[in-house]
Structure 1
């Protein structure tokens, strides 16, 4: 493969850049031992979508919703990291967060609320929230406005400033925010969405034997990381997920897709 590409953008906050780089150095060595020629450095694009689809993609982390709805025909699934968030290996969920002083105790109290979301194709920041309302029988007209804020961190900051009223935050991101974003000090959790498969690692479409070698490299790299780096990144392991596991996300998204399209314009 000419000019192979690697990117791990989903939880790469500035505060953990160094830990991510050390993880990549370890993973890079493990990939080389498996016969690949990984790039020296991770790509850190503003928009990862073109690289997720690149035929030069060696390894990347993406979101489950883009994976099932846009990428699955063009990529191979490597597996899914497990994180220290009190959830099944390879799974995650979203926490539903409001300001401490809001008086909101449950989603049923959200009359006239402004919902902040990071991206309309975010499983954790958008689809999980809509699915939670759908499953709970709570009418969406309780939300007066849907405000795109471009990132979970922006949602947390705008919640703290009372510019918005509620957001659904990826549980791994929330743990990072509890460590690195002081705005969490004035926020509280009022709910939690159902667990779904977490943010998968992908590679360009390739034979299963090659995908299996990449999977082994990831498992070996995570296992050999110093405990401090695993702690910084919340990494605990790597699950052998399959595309069939992610059908759960697709099925739930299909139930709320038309509503989301109408609201998140």
Structure 2
């Protein structure tokens, strides 16, 4: 069986994520001793022996919903967000502004927080990005901004918050606005697996975690939105041409 909970798995909090998985496994009564931490997530999400994985809202509703089983969604208590939702921070270099023609860094074309939320925000404000640069991670996007290889980016607000807390945020960047909230990063299991015992184990684990571990991961609760709620959210058009930027 496979378990993966790696969306907010920065090196300084990996021990907290390991503790979180251990608690889920303890309450569930079975599962792998350790989570996987692969570079390529698609084989994990589609694995027939998947026990639990975190995915992103956009690939879930665009590609995965018919092939996996939705378990629920963690709540991180983000400001201005209903439970089980998140939003993106629209980020530029300090003193600059969002503008048409600006180079836009995105972590991945399949990312709701890096592409879906930001492009909806920019479109609503009449801003058309210029070159779109796919960096591979929110951490790489903020570096691309700081180094002048991109001019604006949408960054998952929880990622931004944790970068700040952990001393991982480059200097010289600022948030100019926040996108409207959207449904958060869903937890999934394989298509033929019953999600109810897994959801119950997650809820119990969040409650039983030590306060400091729960706080470091920003875990506030667990919400079961349902598949239809995700499928009701719009799917953005992909970026026309998003070259992959070299990671410095």
State the TM-score, normalizing by the size of structure 2. 0.93
- Residue in 1 that maps onto 2:133: 147
Q: Which runs of 5+ in 1 are unaligned?
A: none
Structure 1, residues 149-198: CA drift from partner, whole Å, max 9, x if none? 11000111121222211000001111111112443442111111111110
- From 231, 236, 240, the equivalent of 1:262 is 240
Find the partner of 1:171 among 157, 165, 170.
157
Q: 1:161 to 1:101 in 2, by over 3 A?
A: farther
Alignment of 1:76-225 (within 5 A): 76-86=69-79, 87-102=81-96, 104=97, 107=98, 110-136=99-125, 138-140=126-128, 143-206=129-192, 210-225=194-209
CA deviation vs aligned residue, 1:189-229 (integer Å, no higher than 9, x gap): 1111111110000000135xx21111100000001001100
Structure 1 residues 115-142: Cα deviation after superposition (integer angstroms, max 9, x where no partner): 0001110010011111112233x141xx
Higher helix share: 1
Q: Deviations over 1:17-68 (max 9, x none)?
A: 0100111111110111xxxx30010011111110110110000100001100
Pick the structure with greater CA Rg: 1
Count of residue pairs the alignment pairs up: 242
CA distance in 1, matches of 2:56, 2:167: 22
CA positional deviation for 1:9: 1.5
Match of 2:49 in 1: 56
TM-score by length of 1: 0.87
RMSD: 1.5
> In the TM superposition, what is the alpha-carbon distance from 1:261 to its structure 2 partner?
4.1
The answer to whether the Cα contact below 8 Å between 2:6 and 2:54 also exists between their aligned partners in 1 is: yes
Equivalent residue of 1:172, what SS?
Answer: helix
